[in-house]
Amino acid sequence: MIRHAWPRGWAAAKADYAAQGFAILSGLYPPSVLAGFAAALTQIEENAEALAARLPGKLVFERDLPAHRRDGLTDVGAALFLVNDLALFAAAFRPLHETPGVKGIFSELLGMDQPVLHYTNATIKQARFGRAIAWHRDFPNRYICPPDGRYLRLMLCLDGMTDGAGATMFYPGSQREDATDDVAAYLAAQSGMPVAAVCAPGDVVLIHPRVIHGGGMNRAARPRRNLILQAGSPVPATQPHEQLTGQGLG
């Protein structure tokens, strides 16, 4: 049986983050801002081919990714998996890092006065065939990642997340220092089940960079779209930079 984690208030979310390596929080973004995000993302999806030609490398199509993570399905049209560097596409995405409250969340969880933005993306699990995401940790990663590991990801669930519909799954506690670095070895030694982050549209999931997470396909009839922002310590100049990399939050 799959276990679930549910949204909590800030004090409980902070405790969850420390104990489990992830936490679910409600009410951070106002409804009008959420509607703006959804409309801007829909615009991108509807104009994906033209935008991909104009902004090479920023859109990742399902058709260019291995089909085994979507049950072998190959007829996927111009369906997107990732939209990277959201600020390039629409000003409507700016509240993702500018909304009051966002800076405080990062500052408190990281113990840092001036966290800076690393990157943003939309991670889309399409209706019916949205791909599964393998078990992984976000630190270290090969994209944008301060060497000190002091950062976290805020994942806004535009459509909410439910079982069987691609909810992100977590191994609670796998962020701890004593957890083995090797994800496969950690999983092999586990007797516990992962936990599904079940949440409503507009909720956010706060993800510790060392917690092991992944998730199954979205087999539901509606898409599961998340917006992600990573922020924390400044990143070295030698790493890739997005439009807003290095900007302060709030």
Question: Which residues in 45-74 contact ligand AKG (CB under 6 A)?
Answer: none
Coil/strand/helix, residue 23? strand
Nearer to ligand AKG by C-beta: 133 or 249?
133
C-beta of 74: minimal distance to ligand AKG in Å?
22
Whole-angstrom distance, CA of residue 153 vs CA of residue 146 = 13
Question: Judged by CB under 6 A, which of 133, 145, 217, 249 binds ligand AKG?
Answer: 133
Whole-angstrom distance, CA of residue 250 vs CA of residue 72 = 42
Whole-angstrom distance, CA of residue 225 vs CA of residue 155 = 10
> Does residue 226 interact with ligand AKG by CB under 6 A?
yes
- Determine the size of the site formed for ligand AKG (CB under 6 A): 9
Nearer to ligand AKG by C-beta: 33 or 154?
154
C-beta of 213: minimal distance to ligand AKG in Å?
5
Question: Which residues in 152-181 contact ligand AKG (CB under 6 A)?
Answer: 153, 168
C-beta of 231: minimal distance to ligand AKG in Å?
13
C-beta of 11: minimal distance to ligand AKG in Å?
25
In sequence order, the 6+-apart residues with CB closer than 8 A to the CB of 90 are 40, 43, 44
Whole-angstrom distance, CA of residue 20 vs CA of residue 33 = 29
Nearer to ligand AKG by C-beta: 49 or 182?
182
Question: Judged by CB under 6 A, which of 69, 97, 131, 213 binds ligand AKG?
Answer: 213
Nearer to ligand AKG by C-beta: 24 or 228?
228
Whole-angstrom distance, CA of residue 38 vs CA of residue 57 = 22
**What DSSP element (H or E) covers 197?**
strand 195-197
Contact predicate 15/68, CB 8 Å? no
Question: Judged by CB under 6 A, which of 154, 158, 228, 249 binds ligand AKG?
Answer: 228
* Nearest alpha-carbon partner for 69 in 196, 216, 179, 178: 216
> Does residue 130 interact with ligand AKG by CB under 6 A?
no
C-beta of 113: minimal distance to ligand AKG in Å?
25
Question: Judged by CB under 6 A, which of 120, 123, 218, 245 binds ligand AKG?
Answer: 123
If you write DSSP's letter for every residue of 85-145 in order, what string do you get?
Answer: -GGGT-GGGTHHHHSTTHHHHHHHHHT-SS-EEEEEEEEEE-TTTBPPEEEE-SSS-SSS-
Nearer to ligand AKG by C-beta: 76 or 152?
152
> Does residue 215 interact with ligand AKG by CB under 6 A?
yes
- What residue ranges bind ligand AKG (CB under 6 A)? 123, 133, 138, 153, 168, 213, 215, 226, 228
